[in-house]
Structure 1
Amino acid sequence: MSDWGPVFVAMVLFVLLTPGLLIQIPGKHRFIEFGNFQTSGASVLVHSILYFALVCIFLLAVGVHVYIGS
């Protein structure tokens, strides 16, 4: 059995934290913009830091594990 927890957490966070898909921090006109499908260098940096922090929290502190086996 292999542990699919890190793969699942990384994939979900990557999709949710893609700049401009759901939210963009900082936005072009406001601090937070929702669903504008645009991005900037600052928002990529902020989303990368958030992604790294959340992956560390979920994988190291919480210890998410998903085992799939037959």
Structure 2
Amino acid sequence: MPINDALRVEITDADVRAAKMDWLAARDGVDPDRDADGALWYYKRLISTQAQQIADEVRKPGYRWPS
């Protein structure tokens, strides 16, 4: 399925780290108003989306692994 670049959102390592910290805070009770299950779901979605972005990049013709 073609990807509409106008709708694409790039997930950065910083996004994933922030989501992980939110989830850990919710899980450990640091942020009692935060839903730990929802935070974990969001964290996993970001990881999955970032992995797909990396896979899409690697599949591009002429891609060279950074040295």
TM-score range, shorter chain: 0.3 to 0.5
Please report the TM-score for the alignment, with normalisation by the length of structure 2. 0.41
TM-score, with structure 1 as normaliser:
0.39
Q: Which has the higher strand share?
A: 1
